[in-house]
Structure 1
Amino acid sequence: MSAIMEGQGIAYVSGNVFTADNEGTWVEAFVVSESGIFAAVGTNDEILDLARRQKLTTVDLQHRFVMPGIHDAHVHILLGSLATSSYLQPGMDATMTNIASRLKSPECACEHAHVFGDWVIGSLYRIDDFDRAALDVDYPDTPVVLRGGAGHAMFLNSAALEKSGYSLHEPDALHEQFFRRADGSLTGEVTELAMTKAALAIPKPEMAFVKRSITEGIGRLHSVGVTSFQEAASNTTILKALAELDASDELKMDVQTHIVYKPEHLAEESFLTLHKTLDDAASFESKHVRTNFVKFMLDGVPLHPYYTHAGLTDTGEIDESKIQIDDLAEAVARFDKRGMTCKIHCTGHGSTRRALDVYEAVRKSNKDGPKHEIAHCSGVHEDEYPRFKQLNVTAEMSPSMFFVHPITSMSNGLMDWNFGKMLQHGAHLTIGSDWTFQDPAILPSCALILDSVAAALPDATDVKRSAAEEICRMLTKAGAVATGRESTVGTIAVGKKANFVMVNRDLSRGEFEGSQILQTWFEGKSVFEAKQSAQEAK
């Protein structure tokens, strides 16, 4: 046992503690110092003896499973928070005939909908054959915008189209997909870059409300065990809110902000201010917020009826018609030279290949640059798997809810998160919820990837346990390494921040199904504790 004692602390004993280090170390007990770091880690006897000598408060973990706090590699903190607190939710079964009445129903009422002024903002997945007429009768003068298509589409009524600056006969443009009536006028369903005008026109909540929403969202992340996350579409508003929260000691979370380079609709902010914020990224850094991260959305989604992902042509070439950023190579090289980690959204074989080609080029000119990422990794060609390790690129696997899902099964094989193949080729893997509208919990999806991870570990003595421990490391240590925080978080070790969670199941045995977070600690302080019924569940 090693120890760093400084004043009083708390001794946690009789636990089933997975430290998440590479050696698969297990301990029974540890001490958290007053300043919120792990001051000692060891056996029950060692920690109890230390507690007696130091007169420390002792907490019995009751042999429950404990591991480092979860790192969520892909979160949209403001969008997820607003969707929970401020968006109208007409439901997955909304149709053309009931959508307007659903939005006006008491069940759909939202206490904070007023933050968008006279606009009505909601979210759904999609309505087949949507037409603005379904909303125009009930909302003739009120702009209505419904977000959908897994974040790649919007559904607007006529007032919203007009208020956003669209013509009803808006001409087609590159990477803008407009759905049209028989006469050529817009139905109101728009995707990808066609969302830009609406995204920039939607009224923005006041800063006080933004901070309150983010705080509520962080509380929800605490409830699913998250103590660190990567904000995947940061803009100036989010950065200012995080800075103010941290300055007032209200930010109980480690945050890495991927500031959007392109496109504008992803950030919901004009390039005029967004790119200045990117240039000034360092000025937004604070105790818990690191801002040396950039986001690029290179293509769309392989979902019906959009299919805006960049695949490969019949001759094996990248489908350039679906590549949404034409200056990717120059931009990545510029940010790489500044030491900023790039996260490139890729959902198709072609976009993934383009991103890896760009990363390969910057590594030739700057071999010691930062560890970049590919977001989602749901469309990776057989030839590309070895390149993740070769180029020191993190394979960020998200959204976790889609790993096995009816929508995924309808993609005709276009969505495939192959954990086993990634691991066989030595890739560094992280997992993200891609929280926007859904439950941000990652643990339920981990049960669905056990077999895939196990397939990469055929020589293990206990394959299932080894696979489960590997997944636990993906959720903890891997995120710390991906974001450059491995010296301070990610494992339970002396000198690191005491960010940890207690779970009602032994995740190391693959018991992800039915698992619940019982308690979450950030820097030694409890930030979430489940209700008694969950505490008693075993």
Structure 2
Amino acid sequence: MQETLIVNARVHTMSPRGTLRGAAVALRDGRVLGVGDELSVRSLLGRSVLRVDAQGGSVIPGFTDCHIHFTAFAQRTEQVTLEGAGGLAEVLERVRAKAADLAPGEWVVGGGYDRNLWPASDRPTAQALDQAVPDRPVALASKDGHQVWVNTLALERAGFLSGLPDPAGGVVERDEAGRPTGVLKERAADRIWQVVQDPDLPTLRRMAARAQQRLHALGVTGIHVPEGPTAFRLFQEMATSGDLALRVCMMLPADRLQAAADLGIEGGFGSSLLRVGPVKIFADGSLGSQTAALLDPYQGREADGYRGVVVTEADELEDLVARATQAGLAAAIHAIGDRANRMALDALEPWLFHSRRRGLRHRIEHAQLVDPRDRPRFGQLGVIASMQPVHGPQDRTLVTRHWGAERAGHAYAWRSLREAGARLAFGSDAPVESPDPLLGLHAAMTRRLPGEAWEPEEDERSRERLTLQEALEAYTLGAAFASGEEAAKGSIEPGKLADVVILSHDLAQLPLEAWEELHVRGTFWDGRVVYRSQDLPVEMDVRVGS
């Protein structure tokens, strides 16, 4: 196997050794062999090595995205993309164009529309889609993925026009006459996806290969995936064929908990390539779809007392946590609103000592709005806060609009949760947001996107910003801790997996105003180059003699 020497680097080891300037890293047989001065590290390697000059840029452990919907991300590039569409007319035009390229009768599937960006007079309806595409079913996921907009053919195929009652934990928007409008939320949306035609496995593998390349170019070497059997089969097939070059922690859907328990499958089963993670359970919905479960009514909804949607009621949530824990599986509970986060913590609390004995590391996914009284419970219960920092600046306007200024001041409380003892593990929620960890780092440190002007309302929330070291930890060592792999990855130390990223600049010296210049120059996974930019100097270093 190729031996590699990375030199002239600012190495963020994420270990007790800290950050080393002008250092070198040796990689061999898929492991880190040594870290230190170039002369000493070079002596650990053989005669012929691949010498990579970091040119003073930062070298960091490979990023892990702790929350990415990988197959959805992979498929999005071949679906109708609705990101940035400013209104109904623009969406319908994109849908028409996509339908023209498809075979007769094939579903038009897409996503990314954001109703919050549209004029108030524009409303997504089945009738509007019928006029654009009358001869085939259409299913369009919202930006947050918690609602789907469909036409009449899709409503028929999913049984919504046959008088079926609304599913528990789901919302079917209806007109004055009680007819479905075409917008379905939470578990009602699930019925649509159950009848949508999925791509076959060879097609999905082709999409996955491209998605994997895109992640490598962003420095991502590991992913935690909250998806179902199709994704699990995909990763197994890719692993068997040698095509999988990401370390995958697979979250199990709650509806497969009993099957996993009956088989005796416990968390951590697998390998460093593909392993079983926690059971994914939904407590509520999302901010954008206004289905996040709140303790108090939504802003402007005080009159009717609307507080969002509880997807899994408290008694069922407690039962799922109990069954998972007894089966040796941690829980990963999706909770956006403060009510949902309290429900999740309440469900986990009775299992504190049992979980510690079994080594189970429970997580709350997103934790976007946590009541200040509940923050200390994360540390007390050992609950990991699996968060996506880019949501902070992206959702700023929606948070104030739907939750109000006071609750907005409590949202995305990265520092407060960390200081309360929560272990942070960062991700992207792609394809909801970009999977670029460099955007996430910037958001965690500034609560802004690169190049974005400072928003006055963020002044009082700036206390939640993280340092560079703290934000990096959440993408590396914190991510490894979340999957129980901190002994094998998450830092650059001898014996650990050789998943390493070379950046174009020294993170410790780069002004935040110049962040847009920062990019990944090289990504090493299992000791081999899986991405290399044109500006990364690489040469063979061959030494002659005994």
CA offsets, 1:261-298, max 9 Å, x none?
A: 0xxxxxxxxx5x78536754849845510013210011
Checking the alignment, whether the CA contact within 8 Å between 1:472 and 1:508 is kept in structure 2 is no
In structure 2, the partner of 1:331 is 320
Cα distance change of structure 1 residues 71 and 510 upon mapping to structure 2, 3 Å threshold: farther
Contact 1:20–1:491 (CA under 8 A) maintained in structure 2? yes
Distance in 2 (CA, whole Å) between partners of 1:199 and 1:502 is 39
Q: Does 1:398 align with 2:388?
A: yes
Note if 1:244 corresponds to 2:229.
no
In structure 1, the partner of 2:500 is 500
Comparing 209-218 and 495-504, the one that deviates more: 209-218
| Alignment CA distance shift 1:31-1:477 (3 Å) | same
Output one character per residue of 1:106-130: Cα deviation in whole Å (capped at 9) or x when no partner. Answer: xx5797x66x961111113234421
Q: Structure 1: how far apart are the matches of 2:230 and 2:348?
A: 29
SS in 1 for 2:286: coil
Counterpart in the other structure of 1:197: 191
Q: Distance in 2 between matches of 1:226 and 1:334?
A: 33
Q: Distance in 2 between matches of 1:16 and 1:324?
A: 47
The amino acid of 1:529's aligned partner reads: R
Task: Out of 408-417 and 343-352, give the one that drifted further.
Answer: 408-417
Aligned residue in 2 for 1:381: 371
SS at match of 2:424: strand
What does residue 311 of structure 1 align with? 294
Partner SS for 2:530: strand
Aligned-partner SS, 1:212: helix
Number of residues of Structure 1 aligned to a counterpart in Structure 2: 498
Residue number in structure 2 paired with 1:103 = 95
- Does structure 2 conserve the Cα–Cα contact (< 8 Å) formed by 1:419 and 1:452? no
Return the alpha-carbon distance in structure 2 between the equivalents of residues 510 and 63 of structure 1.
Answer: 12
Match of 1:150 among 115, 123, 144: 144
The residue type paired with residue 293 of structure 2 is: A
Question: CA offsets per residue over residues 60-105 of structure 1, 9 Å max, x none?
Answer: 2222211100011100000111112x21124533533443332223
Unaligned runs of 5+ in 2: 116-121, 298-305, 449-462, 539-546
Q: Distance in 2 between matches of 1:215 and 1:166?
A: 36
| 1:181 Cα offset (Å) | 2.4
SS at match of 2:134: coil
SS of the residue corresponding to residue 237 of structure 2 reads: helix
2:375 is matched by which residue type in structure 1? Y
Q: Distance in 2 between matches of 1:302 and 1:16?
A: 39
| Distance of aligned partners of 1:239 and 1:92 in 2 relative to their CA distance in 1, 3 Å threshold | same
Following superposition, the deviation at residue 467 of structure 1 comes to 1.4
Structure 1 residue 142: deviation in Å? Answer: 0.7
Change in 2 beyond 3 A, CA 1:208/1:336: same
- Counterpart CA distance in 1 for 2:330 and 2:177 is 46
For residues 401-454 of structure 1, the C-alpha deviation after alignment (integer angstroms, 9 at most, x for no partner) is 44444444534355611112112222210111001254211212322332579x
Structure 1 residue 250 displacement after superposition = 0.7
Matched, 1:43 2:45: no
Label 1:172 to 1:240 Cα distance change in 2 as closer, same or farther (>3 A).
closer
> 1: CA distance between counterparts of 2:197 and 2:466?
49
Match of 1:483 in 2: 483
Q: Given the superposition, is the C-alpha separation of residues 529 and 465 from structure 1 closer, same or farther in structure 2, using an over 3 Å criterion?
A: farther
Structure 2 residue corresponding to 1:211, chosen from 200, 205, 208: 205
Aligned letter for 1:487?
A
Superposition RMSD in Å: 3.2
Q: Distance in 2 between matches of 1:149 and 1:437?
A: 6
Match of 1:449 in 2: 444
**Who is 1:349 aligned against?**
338
Classify the secondary structure of the residue corresponding to 2:194. helix
> What secondary structure does 2:15 align onto?
coil
Residue 400 of structure 1 deviates from its aligned partner by 2.4
Structure 1 residues 278 and 150: CA distance shift in structure 2, 3 A: farther
Partner of 2:281: 296
Secondary structure at 1:167 match in 2: coil
Matched, 1:188 2:182: yes
Task: Judge conservation of contact 1:64–1:505 (CA < 8 Å) in 2.
Answer: yes
Question: Does the 8 A contact of 2:80 with 2:94 survive in 1?
Answer: no
C-alpha distance in 1 between matches for 2:464 and 2:316 = 44
Question: 2:366, 2:270 → 1: CA distance?
Answer: 26
CA distance 1:256–1:236, shift in 2 (3 Å): same
* 1:322 Cα deviation from its structure 2 partner: 2.2
Residue of structure 2 equivalent to 1:439: 434
Deviations 1:120-141 (A, max 9, x none): 1111323442121112123223
1:124 is the counterpart of 2:117: no
Summarize the alignment of residues 25-44 of structure 1 with structure 2, pairs less than 5 Å apart.
25-26=19-20, 28-33=23-28, 35-44=29-38
Secondary structure at the counterpart of residue 134 of structure 1: helix
- Three-state SS of the structure 2 residue aligned to 1:322 is coil
Note if contact 1:97-1:134 (Cα within 8 Å) is conserved in structure 2. no
Please state whether the residue corresponding to 1:368 is helix, strand or coil.
helix
Measured against aligned partners, the alpha-carbon deviations of 1:26-48 in whole angstroms (never above 9, x if no partner) come to 26012111x11111221123124
Runs of 5+ consecutive residues of structure 1 not aligned to the other structure: 1-6, 262-270, 454-462
* Mean Cα deviation higher: 117-126 or 236-245: 117-126
Q: Which residue does the alignment assign to 2:401?
A: 410
* Residue pair 2:186, 2:311 contacting (<8 A) in 1 also: no
In structure 2, C-alpha distance between the alignment counterparts of 1:423 and 1:393, rounded to whole Å: 11
Q: Residues 445-502 of structure 1, C-alpha deviation per residue, up to 9 Å, x if partnerless?
A: 322332579xxxxxxxxx9999111211111111111111111111111001110101
Name the structure 1 match of 2:85. 93
Q: Is the 8 A contact 1:399 1:432 kept in 2?
A: yes
8 A Cα contact 2:387 2:424, kept in partner: yes
Classify the secondary structure of the residue corresponding to 2:474. Answer: helix
Work out which structure has the larger RCO, using CA pairs closer than 8 Å and 6 or more positions apart in sequence.
Answer: 2
CA distance 1:204–1:292, change in 2 (3 Å): same
Q: 1:8 to 1:451 in 2, by over 3 A?
A: closer
1:183 CA drift (Å): 2.5
Which residue does 2:473 correspond to in 1?
473
Query: Contact between 1:169 and 1:186, CA under 8 Å: does it hold in 2?
Result: no
Correspondence for 2:52: 59
